[in-house]
Amino acid sequence: MDESKPIFIQVAEQIEGRILDGTYPEETQVPSTNEFAAYMRINPATAGKGLNRLVDTGVLYKRRGIGMFVATGARATLTATRREAFGDQYVIPLLHEAARLGIDPEELIAMIGQRAAVAGQA
Amino acid sequence: MMNLAIETRSLTKKYGNTTVLDNLTLGIEKNTICGLLGRNGAGKTTLMSILAGQELKTSGQARVLGAEPFENAQVLAGLSFARENQKYPEEFKVSHVVRAAAWFYAGWDADLARRLVGEFRLPLKTPIKKLSRGQLSAVAIVVGLASRAPVTFFDEPYLGLDATARGIFYDLLLEDYMEHPRTILMSTHLIDEAANLLEHVVVLQDGRKVLDSSVEEATRSAFTLSGTATAVDTAVGGRQILRSQALGGLRSVTIAGNPDERLRTEAKAAGLEVGPVTLQELVAAFGLLESGESSLAAASSPPQTQHEAEEAIR
Amino acid sequence: MTTNQLSPALPEDRNAHRPAGPLMKIVRLHFADPMRLIGVPMSIFATTTAICVVIMLLLRAFVPMDPAELSEGFRYNQAPLWCFGGYFVSVGAMAYARTMPFAMGMGATRRQYWAGTAIALLLESVYIGVAMTVFLAIEKATGHWFTGTHMFDVYVMGNGSYLDIFLMGFGISMLTLFVGTMFASVFVRWNQKGVLLVVFGIIAVFLLLAWMLLTLGVDVVSFFSTDIVARVAVVLIVLGMLSAAGSWLVLRRAPVGR
């Protein structure tokens, strides 16, 4: 988690992460605001704001009197959004650091291929 | 204005020639957890004791649950305030305190009290005056939480408590607050660990309000700028510097306000880093202000508006 | 509240969690620790009586006097007059110095605290009056503690009169308790300086009163010549009431809890 982000965004990102890794499958209920607040030791208003952000983006939807559920297609939407952000969020800093250390793009690509192969074997 | 649990207008308190609270105007929304922050001597305890009807104000207005608290039986019946150096009756044991507190509160939860006593491992048969600093704090926490008072003040409730006990306090505070929402005003110096519990913060400095906003707004009300000293100085321009640190040719400054697009672009071009501040850094930076210097209080929007905004999001 | 019906209190007191009325909560608070107002005074009486009995036995063993004469001499014993007053002044003082900040932290008003405390201290005075009356009866029934030791059946307490000893016990308690509250409330509001001023003020008032009584030729001696003990007790009670009223006036706008 990025400590510099507001807590409610951290809450939202954490839930998104769990939707992506399948912890919260589509059309299942996610924990309540209070449960998130207690778990993360944060003010329930902050937790609520995080959840509501996901309702606003259509990742979650509310069922009156029951709670919040993961929307159908949420995983696909989140994957798409994250894919879009991937370049900025991960590749650019990677290139930046590589440039600082004098690793040229070819070397970098080779390194990635090598690691990917190792990770694939494991 | 009816949804404010605590409200002051031009509240002033003087001891002789010393002004402890200076023309303080603030509002704290009902059923929120609000942090009261600032350096020692900023006026936090004095504010709480005026609101609790213990200390007399010099001028201005103080309202708790819509009415002047001084000698107001109805208001005070719903109020709990344990001072950091709370006095207890001579010879009282922990059990006496817990038993007597039950007589004072309509909402007293004896089960919660017993649970808290257990969690903090408080010795019931030990006289109060033989307790350690941490145990004294625990007694105040037991009374403050189990009272379920609609308005509860915690005055540095963590003093002497170890990390485990503080964690227990934060967890139980949140748990009970969510089950029984009420207005909680808590003064603390351990801002980093309490910040996430808070919805709203009021920061006092020399008896004046320097910040009154939601925690999120607060952390957005200043930012850090770091890089080479000359580039930083150029980028800062006329902005108010709250705190400045130098290391060789490098400089890091905390600046009041929001980093606008122009500044971000300039900073990027000059190889400067723009970063957020934590609440603790912000409050610490305020503590460095000389009295009389301007603050962000005027710049930040009034509390009602923010709460309405947050209400809408909920 | 539902929580109260559901939850038993701490193991030692099943009824403890019921909230009390605005004055009762203060009265109960004063009696929450039963030692302070109930146990300690009794132990003071028991110890003082025991000491007097020991002195009597020593006198009997070493002084060549008729035991009946010694016993009569013990009628001048003033122990019951002085033995608990000091303790009660401190009890009254602590009520304001320590118990009041506690009660106010839990949302009591000054008015509630003063009135509840006045009720508690009056109950305490009745308790002491009744206790001394009962002790007098026991003393008479046991032939003065089996040794001819006069402890409660003494001149200063009305020489065996049940009404007098009750009034004296009540009056001494009331005066000492409320004087304690008054000085503590002055201390709470104005610190040592205030206490000193009040002490001098009281001395001045008494001197003025004495001077007025003398110059006006009021016959104080004849007022006290009949029913002296009962009349002294009434004076103590009146002074106690004045102290209670004084505490209120001082306390009404005093800062509490600092």
Dump pLDDT digits (tens) for C83-122: 999 999 999 999 999 999 999 999 999 999 999 999 999 9
The model's pTM: 0.87
Q: How confident is the model at residue B237 (pLDDT cuts 50, 70, 90)?
A: confident
Across chain C, mean pLDDT equals 90
Residue type at B8 in one-letter notation: T
Q: Does any domain span residue C132?
A: yes
Give chain A's end-to-end CA distance (angstroms, integer): 26
pLDDT for the residue C218: 77
Q: Does any domain span residue C256?
A: no
For helices C40-62 and C85-94, the axis angle rounded to 10 degrees is 160
Per the CB < 8 A criterion, the answer to whether B89 and C29 are in contact is yes
In the predicted structure, residue C142 carries a pLDDT above the cut 60:
yes
Q: Does any domain span residue C257?
A: no
Q: Does any domain span residue C6?
A: no
Mean pLDDT, residues C206-230 taken together: 86
In the predicted structure, residue B21 carries a pLDDT above the cut 90:
yes
Q: 28-87 in C: which are within 8 Å (CB) of B?
A: 28-29, 32-33, 35-36
What pairing do the DSSP bridges indicate for beta strands B79-82 and B4-15?
Answer: unpaired
| φ, ψ dihedrals at C181, nearest 5° | -65, -40
pLDDT in tens, B181-214: 999 999 999 999 999 999 999 999 999 999 999 9
Q: Does any domain span residue C108?
A: yes
CATH of the domain at A57: 1.10.10.10
| Judgement on whether residues A41 and A13 belong to the same structural domain of the protein | yes
Structure tokens at B179: 């089950």
Q: How confident is the model at residue B221 (pLDDT cuts 50, 70, 90)?
A: confident
DSSP, collapsed to helix, strand or coil, labels residue C207 as: helix
| Judgement on whether residues A11 and A66 belong to the same structural domain of the protein | yes
What pairing do the DSSP bridges indicate for beta strands A67-70 and B33-37?
Answer: unpaired
Mean pLDDT, residues C174-193 taken together: 94
Looking at beta carbons, which pairs linking B178-181 to residues 24 or more positions away fall under 8 Å?
B178/A34, B178/A37, B178/A38, B178/A44, B180/B107, B180/B148, B181/B31
CA distance B179 to B193: 22
Q: How far is CA C251 from the centre of its chain?
A: 21
Structure tokens at A79: 């994957």
User: Which residues on chain B are in Cβ contact (under 8 Å) with C258?
Assistant: 49, 55
Q: How confident is the model at residue C17 (pLDDT cuts 50, 70, 90)?
A: low
Across chain B, mean pLDDT equals 89
Mean pLDDT, residues C245-249 taken together: 95
Q: How confident is the model at residue B298 (pLDDT cuts 50, 70, 90)?
A: very low
Sheet of B59-64: strand order equals B18-29, B4-15, B59-64
Q: Does any domain span residue C11?
A: no
What are the residues of chain B with a beta carbon less than 8 Å away from any beta carbon of chain A? 32-33, 167, 170-171, 174-175, 177-178, 196-199, 215-216, 219-220, 275-276, 310, 313-314
* CATH of span B222-287: 3.30.70
- Nearest Cα to C103, choosing from A122, B66, A94, B105? B105
Q: Does any domain span residue A78?
A: no
CA distance A19 to A37: 18
Q: How confident is the model at residue C14 (pLDDT cuts 50, 70, 90)?
A: very low
Mean pLDDT is lowest, of A9-13, B103-107, B257-261, for B257-261
Q: Does any domain span residue A1?
A: no
- Cα torsion at B3, B41, B87, B108 (round to 10°)? 20
Is the CB of C112 inside 8 Å of chain B's CB atoms? yes
Cα–Cα distance list, A103 to A106, A111, A116, A118, C175 (Å): 8, 10, 18, 20, 92
DSSP lists the bridge partners of residue B208 as B205
- List all residues 6 or more positions away from C120 whose beta carbon is below 8 Å from its beta carbon: C26, C27, C29, C30, C31, C37
pLDDT for the residue A26: 94
Q: Does any domain span residue C60?
A: yes
DSSP lists the bridge partners of residue B81 as B153
User: Which residues on chain B are in Cβ contact (under 8 Å) with C32?
Assistant: 89, 92, 96, 99-100
Mean pLDDT is lowest, of B24-38, B175-189, B221-235, for B221-235
pLDDT for the residue B216: 87
pLDDT in tens, B80-113: 999 999 999 989 999 999 999 999 999 999 999 9
Per the CB < 8 A criterion, the answer to whether B204 and B256 are in contact is no
Mean pLDDT, residues B258-282 taken together: 86
The count of structural domains within chain C is 1
The count of structural domains within chain A is 2
Per the CB < 8 A criterion, the answer to whether C113 and C103 are in contact is yes
At the top level of CATH, the class of B4-213 is alpha beta
CA distance C242 to C198: 13
Q: How confident is the model at residue B155 (pLDDT cuts 50, 70, 90)?
A: very high
Provide the domain limits for residue A104.
83-121
Structure tokens at B300: 């930040």
Of A4, A46, A48, nearest to B196 by CB-CB distance is A46
pLDDT for the residue C8: 41
pLDDT in tens, A58-104: 999 999 989 999 999 999 999 999 999 998 889 998 998 999 999 99
Mean pLDDT, residues A37-60 taken together: 95
Residue of B nearest to C18 (CA): B103
| Judgement on whether residues A108 and A57 belong to the same structural domain of the protein | no
User: Which residues on chain B are in Cβ contact (under 8 Å) with C34?
Assistant: none
In the predicted structure, residue B297 carries a pLDDT above the cut 80:
no
| Judgement on whether residues A62 and A116 belong to the same structural domain of the protein | no
Percent of chain B at pLDDT exceeding 70 = 91
In the predicted structure, residue C207 carries a pLDDT above the cut 50:
yes
Provide the domain limits for residue C195.
19-251
